Structure 1
């Protein structure tokens, strides 16, 4: 016997699905975007002993921010 959801039960079902997706995505997407300092520190600690210039393939320049303003002297 198939159950057909109507009215408030349908709304509750859809709300549950949206809530579940939101709860699953929060620690993956939203929290790191709102608190980037923790992840920035973790990245600095993980890359502490790495010389990026040495491991760059093909003598390519290391990445720099293209929107960073240059300081004029």
Structure 2
């Protein structure tokens, strides 16, 4: 069994990791860095839809359970 060492093996591993990084960038990293594109698409597709009307089972529309009420000073 030959040991995998040398610059060719290092270049192979580097290219493999680089290929995976380049493949995942537009899928994972880009949407996290600039989500405004997806927010505008969502606003356009949900235009004219009231969420209260389509909520199943007369359930309340989701609200943040950790949202603290602001004190009225």
Deviating 4+ runs (over 6 angstroms): none
Q: Which position in structure 1 is the counterpart of 2:41?
A: 42
1:2-48 deviation digits (Å, cap 9, x = unpaired): xx753111111111111111111111110010001121111111111
**Partner Cα distance (2:23, 2:65) in 1:** 33
Computed over aligned residues only, the root mean square deviation of the Cα atoms, in angstroms, reads 1.8
TM-score when normalising by structure 1: 0.79
Unaligned stretches of 5+ residues in structure 1? none
TM-score when normalising by structure 2: 0.79
